[in-house]
Structure 1
Amino acid sequence: MQFDLRNILGDFVAIFFPKECACCGCALKYQEKYICIACDFHLPYTNFHTYSDNDTARQLWGKVPIEEACSFILLQKGSRVERLIYQIKYNNQPFLAEYFGYQYGLKLLESELYRGLSAIVPIPLHTSKLRKRGYNQSTYFGQGLSRAMNIPLRDDVLKRQRATMTQTGKDRLSRYENVEDVFVCTQLSQPLGEHVLLVDDVLTTGATIVSATLTLQESWGCKVSVATLARAQ
């Protein structure tokens, strides 16, 4: 019988330094990677990728012309998903965004709605916030999608030309005014393609997505579809 020394050592370390579930904080058991089986079972996955007339798409209709739009999970205040998003954005665990991006990418591959994509474009952070946080969680989400779908990630396309105030606590109109004309497209050494997938971590009012989509369409004339890790309810 052959033994995997790496797994044996990993199990031994886990006895004294157990990893925690990103959603509920309980100790992960054998073969549980980032979230426990119970949380994975109870997460509010949407299946929005299977049909066009979903809540994420409806939220953007009339504001910007999009091809398709979907979100992986639903976000409610005080929920497991809220803790997950907190871990990703503020507790230095961007690999969780990549993990869920990969899982979602496998599902998008099964959907006829997301065929023919040429690139995955993440919503960028302003350089000041990127320096402070150390990473862009939307880029990690896009990396997971890219790896699963075998579509190039293009984080060189969009740039935030000014820092914006936090959207938390703002009403719907103020959120749109806060991100108006905030994005610009950079000069590209390689063509972007005809149909891009714009990705972000959380969809709230949709103001950020709308602003970025309009910038892409006005600059490159491309079709845009949208995918987010979560959609706030």
Structure 2
Amino acid sequence: MVSRHLKYHINDLTADLLNLIWPATCQACGERLFKTEEAICTNCLTQLPRTNYHLWAENDFHKLFWGRIPVMYATAMYLFEKESPYRKLIHKLKYKRMPEIGIVLGREMGYEIKDSVFNEIDLIIPVPLHPKKKKMRGYNQSDMIARGLSEGMDKPWRADILKRDTHTTTQTRKGRYERWENVNSIFSINPKTSVRGMHILVIDDVVTTGATLESCVAELLVNGASHVSLATLAFAHS
């Protein structure tokens, strides 16, 4: 019988051999990854155009919701700029079946905000996809971000609480009012769960007008959440 130690050694050798033949590369810059790196190289992670919004209460992302819906805290990890090489990371995460990008970036954001006011949150909830869209993509990209964020913050996450009941059309190229109308009242709380008295952190990939997040916040507050905060990987100025 092969010992467990030998099995691990064989697996490591196999992984090393495969990496020689098909080396893993950074999804941002294309350079070869080191053995300890996953999806994005350390250099690119350190070069992310960070906003530091988690340190600034009256940031542009938080202001987006002023007068619309009560949001406790709001942060975005980086700006979604047209010329940024990191913009393609979101595209690969959403459309190229690369869930590991969401996990890595979510974990990085978790490390960054865990010692800020966001440490007050009780539970992380990703913005849900409609089952049809989730089946088409193979996964919900916000689930992947929430999973990584949970690891980085050491906070629990659940994807079975908030449900998307209506399959909406894409938000791309819609104006602010059209986006709000497209997602108004499309979410509901799973009746077998509860958010009563909890401070919820809602997670998404990119925010532009905030219409989808506004709808999520409204549903959570109506169902008894004490506070709702928001975190996204990127913020695109509309």
What TM-score comes out, normalization by structure 2 length?
A: 0.88
Aligned residue pairs, count: 230
For 1:72, the equivalent position in structure 2 comes to 77
Whole-Å separation in 2 of the counterparts to 1:154 and 1:75 = 26
Deviation of residue 49 (structure 1)? 1.2
Gaps of 5+ in 2: 1-8
Counterpart AA for 1:87: K
- Worse overlay, 29-38 or 102-111: 29-38
For 2:32, the equivalent position in structure 1 comes to 27
| Counterpart among 11, 19, 38 of residue 14 in structure 1 | 19
Counterpart AA for 1:167: Q
Deviation of residue 221 (structure 1)? 4.0
For 2:203, the equivalent position in structure 1 comes to 199
Whole-Å separation in 1 of the counterparts to 2:215 and 2:124 = 17
For 2:102, the equivalent position in structure 1 comes to 97
Distance 1:199 1:9, change over 3 A: same
Q: Residues 22-171 of structure 1 correspond to what in structure 2 (within 5 A)? A: 22-29=27-34, 31-111=36-116, 113-171=117-175
Is the 2:197–2:225 contact (alpha carbons within 8 Å) kept by the matching residues of 1?
A: no
Whole-Å separation in 1 of the counterparts to 2:196 and 2:160 = 10
Whole-Å separation in 2 of the counterparts to 1:146 and 1:95 = 14
Deviation of residue 32 (structure 1)? 3.6
Is the 2:61–2:76 contact (alpha carbons within 8 Å) kept by the matching residues of 1?
A: yes
Gaps of 5+ in 1: none
Deviation of residue 144 (structure 1)? 1.3
Distance 1:12 1:192, change over 3 A: farther
Distance 1:116 1:40, change over 3 A: closer
DSSP-derived class of the 2:221 partner: helix
What TM-score comes out, normalization by structure 1 length?
A: 0.90
